[in-house]
Amino acid sequence: MSALVLIVGRLAAETKGVRGEPFAAGQRYFRAVARAGGTPLMLPPIPELVDEVPALISRVDAVVLHGGGDIDPRHYGQEPSAEQLYGIVREHDAVELAVVRAALDADVPTLAICRGMQVLNVAMGGTLVQDIGNESHWMSYSHDVVLDADSLVAAAIGTTHPKACHCVHHQALDTVASGLHITGRTADGLVHAAEVSDARWIVAVQWHPEDSAAADSEQQHLFDALLAHT
């Protein structure tokens, strides 16, 4: 049986072919995991399931934390202060923070993408810049990222200078949590790659590799490396 990869779903406003309000997650994450040889599973964001998360994490082989709206700043000790905050959903925060903490405790291989990177940092005790004030990171298709040569990300992608990193974010890591090691930045200094120092393979990127992974082997290799470490 192929490795089981947990992806946390989202509350969704509507979809076709189902009765009632749906849970959802972007197909690109699931397809990238499937191309890497894994079987993706979706966990619905139901806070009442939080106590079951550690037991669930013990039964899967890897985790993908994906993009989405902002984390409630209260989770990192701040009051909301930026007008640009959007998409804060209590259920998403509760379940994803529980999943991250369980994955850290169990040392389950994890790929944390965009919001996922921010959730990882917050779960480990770090903080975020509520708005970076830099529109070039919102819907940009051409960011270059410079990676540390000895980083897990560079080893996975096969280069220290990936050129096609699609960014869709208005927040960034501020105080980096103890135990989270920065391994990549863009030219303006924003953290775009990090890894948990004492973990088997817990890697975070600020860009969206799933967006181009079907056609870009460098980006697909991040999902391949996740599965290779299960």
CA dist 85 to 13, 65, 77, 88, 138, Å? 19, 20, 16, 8, 14
Q: Could you confirm whether 208 is annotated as catalytic? A: yes
Q: Could you confirm whether 114 is annotated as catalytic? A: yes
Count Cα atoms within 13 angstroms, Cβ side, for 88.
Answer: 14
Q: Which listed residue (143, 165, 210, 221) is catalytic?
A: 210
Domain that holds residue 123: 4-228
Q: Classify 67 as helix, strand or coil.
A: coil
Counted domains in the chain: 1
Report residue 93 as tokens.
């925060």
Q: Which listed residue (92, 169, 208, 221) is catalytic?
A: 208
Report residue 122 as tokens.
């917050």
The predicted model scores a pTM of 0.97
pLDDT in tens, the chain (230 residues): 899 999 999 999 877 788 888 999 999 999 999 999 999 999 999 999 999 999 999 999 999 999 999 999 999 999 999 999 999 999 999 999 999 999 999 999 999 999 999 999 999 999 999 999 988 898 766 689 999 999 999 999 999 999 889 999 999 999 999 999 999 999 999 999 999 999 999 999 999 999 999 999 999 999 999 999 99
Q: Could you confirm whether 165 is annotated as catalytic? A: no
CATH number of the domain enclosing 219: 3.40.50.880
What pLDDT was estimated at residue 141?
Answer: 64
What pLDDT was estimated at residue 29?
Answer: 98
Q: Which listed residue (96, 114, 195, 221) is catalytic?
A: 114
